[in-house]
């Protein structure tokens, strides 16, 4: 172990691993003997990468643009401009990893295994002049003006470093926000941290039908509606659970839902009511679906909900039918206007949104260190000398589909270079 490190990287996740490796390589190029330490509270580095993309790691998305991000978008805008998804692919190619596009620009390692990405990033830092210390949680940081050094206090050792990079990711789900959380340390160093809320997660809904729908997966269109205005539309597999809706299409609207629950506004606009509308037959127009239901009426003697089983399956069909008419009615007895009502229900099955969220099963944390405290051009603190940030700890988050890892990699690589270059300043 070194007495004084040039850089302490806190957090050995996606962004911290690439930042440490890049910084070390750049320092070597300039023939520097300065050392880096990588501090990780888990027992192994890069653990979280294993869980990404359902174990396959959706590492970037070639369609990524600022439109896929929320919060202080300038962080993502700058990062993507200087280090694009194609740069990310090239970066991994240079480490020996081939990639493939699965769909909608989503890039995965050719092996389809997250462990490939985790292992290659771990090997890369292990080859460098970097001390890697696991099982070590940073609990406080002090700055000494005399020697211009930071003392990093952890649960087992104290470390001195000239520069600190926070690559600490989001708020852990298994931990209450205590005073000792990394966000408090960042705030104590003078930085502004916005409110935090979960993103890319299930959305809790209020509905008399949801319990009976548990376990159903149905492909359709999800629209987030605020005061009758559609705010975001997503297509995909909707998963119905005991008290929530889930699936990637729901994850992609959860950010706005939880922003509303936190601030009562979305994108600084106030709304009175938020709801989710499901189009359960999105491939058919209202007219085509109505014609199908109307024409079938003369041919059958069945109960109404039974008819819908052919479109929606048993439980979903009963729920839709009940919400339209209360009780199941013989299909033949429905009037033309009632068939229209039924068609509307299928195309616009509405769920009210619960007024709270849970920190559980969220893929990301929304909110974080504000652009008021961090320069988006170089990820350097505007408040404290020699402090830097990268990845999810910043107030920026992306849609589901490789956008969050892209930001972790691009911000990590850019800040790694920046820190090495700052040696000469």
Q: Which residues are near ligand FAD by CB under 6 A?
A: 10-16, 39-42, 48, 51-53, 57-58, 137-138, 167-169, 182, 363-364, 391-392, 402-405, 408
Query: Tokens 């070390």 identify what position?
Result: 24
Contacts of 385 (CB under 8 A, 6+ apart): 143, 148
- Compute the least distance from the CB of residue 64 to ligand FAD, in Å: 9
Query: How many CA atoms within 13 Å lie on the side-chain side of 266?
Result: 20
Residue with tokens 């888990």: 42
Are 395 and 186 in contact by the 8 Å Cβ rule? The answer is no
CB of 402 to ligand FAD, least distance (A): 5
Return the number of the residue (47 or 232) whose C-beta is nearest ligand FAD: 47
Q: Which is nearer to ligand FAD, 207 or 410 (CB)?
A: 410
Strands 158-166, 387-389: pairing is parallel
Please state, in angstroms and rounded to a whole number, the distance separating the CA atoms of residues 324 and 349.
Answer: 9
Report, in Å, the least distance between residue 227 CB and ligand FAD: 31
Q: Name which of 15 and 258 has its Cβ closer to ligand FAD.
A: 15
| Residue placing its CB nearer to ligand FAD in the complex, 387 or 405 | 405
Rounded least distance, CB 282 to ligand FAD, Å: 25
**Residue 205 β-bridge partners:** 353
Q: Quick check: 102 and 53 in contact, CB under 8 A?
A: no
Q: Which is nearer to ligand FAD, 198 or 304 (CB)?
A: 198
Query: C-beta of 60: minimal distance to ligand FAD in Å?
Result: 7
Q: Give dist(CA 90, CA 81) in Å, integer.
A: 15
Q: Which is nearer to ligand FAD, 72 or 279 (CB)?
A: 72
223 or 363: CB nearest ligand FAD: 363
Q: For the chain, what is the radius of gyration of the CA atoms?
A: 25
CA within 13 Å, CB half, 310: 9
Nearest distance from C-beta of residue 182 to ligand FAD, angstroms:
4
The sign of the CA dihedral 197, 203, 204, 206 is positive
Query: With the CA atoms of 73, 244, 47 and 52 taken in that order, what torsion angle do they form, in degrees rounded to the nearest 10?
Result: -60
Question: Residue 84 or 363: which CB sits closer to ligand FAD?
Answer: 363
Angle between helices 403-421 and 14-29 (to 10 degrees): 30
Per the structure block, which two tokens stand in for 130? Answer: 């970097």
Q: DSSP label at 354?
A: P
Question: Quick one: DSSP state of residue 8?
Answer: E
The least CB distance from residue 345 to ligand FAD, in Å, is: 34
Contact 260, 300 (CB under 8 A): no
| Nearest approach, Cβ of residue 302 and ligand FAD (Å) | 43
- Smallest gap from residue 272 Cβ to ligand FAD (A): 32
Query: Is the distance from CB of 16 to CB of 10 less than 8 angstroms?
Result: yes
Name the nearest CA neighbour of 238 among 220, 212, 213, 257.
220
The strand pairing partners of 86, in sequence order, are: none
For the bound state, the minimum distance from the C-beta of residue 15 to ligand FAD, rounded and expressed in Å, comes to 3
Q: Is 363 helix (H, G, I), strand (E, B) or coil?
A: coil
Nearer to ligand FAD, 316 or 396 (CB): 396
Distance of alpha carbon 110 from alpha carbon 47, whole angstroms: 20
Chain residue at closest Cβ approach to ligand FAD: 13
Closer CB to ligand FAD, 87 or 338, in the complex: 87
Between 32 and 111, name the residue whose CB sits nearer to ligand FAD. Answer: 111
Are 345 and 323 in contact by the 8 Å Cβ rule? The answer is: yes
CB of 333 to ligand FAD, least distance (A): 49
Structure tokens at 35: 């050392």
């Amino acid at each position: 172990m070194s007495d004084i490190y040039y850089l302490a990287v806190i957090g050995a996740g996606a962004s911290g691993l690439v930042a440490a490796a890049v910084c070390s390589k750049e320092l070597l190029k300039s023939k520097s003997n300065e050392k880096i330490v990588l501090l990780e509270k888990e027992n192994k580095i890069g653990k979280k990468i294993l869980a990404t993309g359902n174990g396959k790691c959706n590492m970037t998305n070639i369609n990524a643009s600022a439109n896929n991000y929320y919060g202080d978008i300038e962080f993502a805008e700058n990062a993507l401009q200087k280090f694009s998804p194609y740069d990310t692919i090239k970066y991994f190619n240079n480490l020996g990893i081939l990639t493939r596009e699965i769909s909608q620009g989503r890039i995965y390692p050719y092996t389809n295994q997250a462990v490939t990405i985790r292992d290659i990033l771990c090997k890369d830092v292990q080859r460098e002049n970097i001390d890697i210390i696991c099982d070590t949680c940073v609990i406080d940081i002090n700055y000494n003006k005399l020697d211009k050094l930071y003392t990093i206090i952890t649960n087992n050792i104290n470390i001195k470093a000239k520069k600190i990079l926070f690559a600490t990711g989001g708020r852990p789900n298994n931990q209450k926000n205590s005073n000792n959380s990394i966000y408090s340390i960042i705030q104590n160093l003078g930085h502004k941290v916005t409110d935090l809320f979960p993103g890319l997660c299930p959305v809790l809904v209020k509905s008399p039908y949801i319990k009976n729908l548990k376990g159903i997966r149905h492909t359709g269109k999800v629209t987030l509606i605020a005061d009758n205005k559609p705010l975001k539309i997503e297509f995909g597999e909707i998963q119905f659970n005991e008290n929530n809706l889930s699936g990637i299409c729901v994850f992609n609207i959860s950010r706005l839902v939880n922003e509303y629950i936190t601030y009562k506004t979305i994108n600084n606009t106030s709304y009175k009511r938020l709801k989710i509308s499901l189009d359960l037959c999105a491939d058919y127009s209202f007219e085509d679906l109505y014609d199908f239901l109307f024409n079938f009426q003369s041919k059958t003697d069945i109960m109404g909900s039974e008819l819908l089983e052919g479109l929606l399956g048993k439980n979903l069909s009963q729920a839709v039918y009940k919400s339209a008419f209360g009780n199941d009615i013989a299909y033949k007895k429905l009037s033309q206007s009632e068939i229209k009502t039924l068609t509307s229900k299928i195309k616009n099955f509405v769920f009210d949104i619960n007024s709270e969220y849970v920190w559980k099963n969220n893929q990301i944390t929304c909110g974080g260190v504000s652009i008021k405290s961090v320069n988006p051009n170089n990820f350097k603190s505007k408040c404290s000398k020699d402090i830097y940030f990268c990845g999810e700890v910043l107030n920026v988050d992306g849609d589901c589909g490789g956008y969050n890892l892209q930001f972790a990699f691009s911000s990590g690589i850019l800040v790694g270079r920046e820190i090495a270059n700052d040696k000469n300043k």
